[in-house]
Amino acid sequence: MTSDIRGIHHAGILTSDLDGLERAYLSFGLTLSPRSRHLLNERPDEPPVPGCTANRCALFGDAYIELLGIVDATAPDPWHTRAMADEYEGFRLLNLETGDAEAADEALTGAGLRTSGVLDLERDVDTADGTRTMRARAVHIDPSSTPEGHIGVAQHLTRQYVHQPRYLDHPNGARALEAVLIVVDDPMFEDAVARYATILSTGPRRQGPLTVLDTAAARLEIVRSGDAEGVLPGEPAPAPSRLAAMTIAVEDVAAARTIVEGGGTATRPTDDGFFVSARDAYGAGLFFTAR
């Protein structure tokens, strides 16, 4: 589709209990940015309005994990987040990174995907020089064509206000959001792989039960729902197709595991690190691996 899609912009976990979500991820040894309310618009060229959500983020310098909470159920909901949460909470959002939201939107629609058009997002953030307004642009793909989750592309306009150096040092040694694992219902699998291959302009490769799509900075891993138990044994399955897990690269796996378990969360070993169940991580399985 376009070589401008170069990696993961952010992966989002949605909850109506942002306090609890924050506590969990802090206990995993992740540094979080301060809580910030969203200003959103529903249609292109409309002014942003205060929405019902706020977030905190675990930032890695390129991609980030967004802890997204509904903090005022009476506030406007231009991005229909409450309806998403009513369906189920957990790992619900994935945005791929672009440097040109307009061009990405044109490419997505040219590939036959319905989109929201280019939407604007703002939120105030604390910086070393005082409060500044973070600005970004996003394009949402029609979720009826992506049953695995709410998928889009996003463009930083003020990256420096998001990935501030003071938030990039994590007690668990986290360095990057390395991959996202998507489970796809068997009958939809081939179409989903083709869709992401088109979006990313890359060919798939096989890695055991996984179909992998590589970008410059991260990768998407896709597995058939019928094979998911072998990759995510005993994990919850809130929907046949779903955003299921993330891979976080850390400096020292043993040290990171000590921190996570010291915070009261059980882990299980994997071939190259360890895993935290989605039951303990608010709906997102977490693989930790060394880099």
Q: What is the chain written as a DSSP string?
A: --TT--EEEEEEEEES-HHHHHHHHHHTT---PPPEEEEE-SSTTSPPEEEEEEEEEEE-SS-EEEEEEE--TTS--TT-HHHHHHH--EEEEEEEE-S-HHHHHHHHHHTT--EEEEEEEEEEEEETTEEEEEEEEEEEEPGGG-TT-EEEEEEESSHHHHS-GGGS--TT-EEEEEEEEEEE-GGGHHHHHHHHHHHHT---EEETTEEEEE-SS-EEEEEEGGGHHHHSTT---SSSSEEEEEEEEES-HHHHHHHHHHTT---EEETTEEEE-TTTTTT-EEEEEE-
Domains 7-167 and 174-290 share a fold: yes
Which pLDDT value is given to residue 183?
A: 98
CA gap 104, 118 in Å, rounded = 9
8 A C-beta contact, residue 210 and residue 216:
no
Which pLDDT value is given to residue 84?
A: 92
Q: Which residue has the higher pLDDT, 5 or 259?
A: 259
Which pLDDT value is given to residue 1?
A: 52
pLDDT at 2 over 70: no
8 A C-beta contact, residue 237 and residue 283:
no
Q: In the predicted model, what is the mean pLDDT of residues 140-147?
A: 94
Q: Where are the domains of the chain?
A: 7-167, 174-290
Which pLDDT value is given to residue 8?
A: 95
Which pLDDT value is given to residue 121?
A: 86
Which pLDDT value is given to residue 46?
A: 80
pLDDT at 246 over 60: yes
Least confident of 25-29, 125-129, 190-194, 219-223: 125-129
pLDDT at 3 over 80: no
Q: Can you give the pTM of this predicted structure? A: 0.93
Q: In the predicted model, what is the mean pLDDT of residues 3-20?
A: 91
Q: How confident is the model at residue 123 (pLDDT cuts 50, 70, 90)?
A: confident
Which pLDDT value is given to residue 78?
A: 85
Q: In the predicted model, what is the mean pLDDT of residues 30-58?
A: 88
Q: How confident is the model at residue 47 (pLDDT cuts 50, 70, 90)?
A: confident
Amino acid, res. 216: A
Q: How confident is the model at residue 20 (pLDDT cuts 50, 70, 90)?
A: very high
Classify domain 174-290 at the CATH superfamily level: 2,3-Dihydroxybiphenyl 1,2-Dioxygenase, domain 1 (3.10.180.10)
pLDDT digits (tens, 9 = 90+) for 173-227: 999 999 999 999 999 999 999 999 999 989 999 999 999 999 988 999 999 999 9
Torsion angle of the four alpha carbons 10, 12, 17, 21, in this order, in degrees rounded to the nearest 10: -60
8 A C-beta contact, residue 219 and residue 246:
no
The CATH T-level fold of domain 7-167 is: 2,3-Dihydroxybiphenyl 1,2-Dioxygenase; domain 1 (3.10.180)
CA gap 211, 222 in Å, rounded = 5
Distance set, CA 245 to CA 122, 220, 242, 253, 273 (Å) = 27, 10, 9, 18, 14
250: Cβ contacts below 8 Å, ≥ 6 apart: 172, 173, 174, 175, 256, 273, 288, 289, 290, 291
Q: In the predicted model, what is the mean pLDDT of residues 239-248?
A: 98
